Amino acid sequence: DGIHIIDLAKTKEGLENAAKTLQEAAAAGQDILFVGTKRQAKTILKEQATRIGAHFLTERWIGGFLTNWDTIHKNLEKIRKMEEEEKSGAWKKFPKHEQLKLSRYLGRTKMVYGGVISLYDVPKVLVVLDIRKEKAAVEEAKIRGIVTIGIVDTNADPTQVDFPIPANDDAVGSITFITNYLTRAYEEGRKQFDVTREKEAQEMEKKKKEAEKKAEAPKKVVEEKPVEPKAEESKTEKPAKAKKA
């Protein structure tokens, strides 16, 4: 009858565990991929992921994205190269129709890959907003040993992901609340990572300056005082005694 009966205490527990995992992963500088291709989820996910600078896929799951990473990586490199060429004006050497063709191709490609163009390595955590809809993504993540987080409705198996969040994956309100909660956790973790990285950079800079200062400092030369020769004691010869005749 379209009624979802979910224990909200379990939802709270699952959401908090998932958020903690996300925050810790982000604080460690790990890449995280958010996936939500269903109509109710794609808009809110794209908005929030773009806001915090997270990687995301909202148009469709790209088959082999995790299990065939070498090919995906090459595709991403190609897109990045095309973007640079377009910005630098390198396409101007081609005829107008060729430029238009390249531009259209890049536009179509970015519609699918747009949220992961800045991804350079396999993500360490996968977040899906519907584990049934994103079944292929979850399966690939399991093959690669990637940590999985997902919204699990009453018609799904919670054991399919490492951190299930029992909730309605069809209601816009439910999806929005959970997405906002998880992205805030990710954002907080990234802030921690940035602070740690800044401290490390400052410490390295400090050590570098100290080393340079030490290298430039004049070496102290211990000057040895010349040893003055000791004055020889003058030997006074005693006059010889006259022999008695």
Burial of 19 (0-12, 13-18, 19+ CB in 10 A): buried
State the pLDDT at residue 218: 62
Tokens of 241: 């005694």
Report pLDDT for 91: 93
CA neighbor of 151 nearest in space, from 142, 140, 133 = 133
Rounded (10°) angle between helices 96-113 and 69-88: 140
Q: Which residue has the tokens 């925050």?
A: 23
Model pLDDT, residue 216: 76
Spell out the SS3 assignment of 18-60. HHHHHHHHHHCCCCEEEECCCHHHHHHHHHHHHHHCCEEECCC
Sign of CA dihedral 33, 38, 41, 45: positive
Question: Helix, strand, or coil here: 156?
Answer: coil
pLDDT of residue 223: 54
Q: What is the mean pLDDT of each run of 10 residues along the chain (245 residues)?
A: 79 96 96 95 95 95 96 95 94 93 94 94 97 96 97 94 95 95 96 90 82 71 57 52 51
Single-letter amino acid code for the residue at 195: V
pLDDT at residue 229 in the model: 60
pTM equals 0.81
pLDDT of residue 237: 52
The confidence score (pLDDT) of residue 198 equals 87
Quickly list DSSP for 157-209.
-GGGSSEEEES-SS-HHHHHHHHHHHHHHHHHHHHHHHHHHHHHHHHHHHHHH
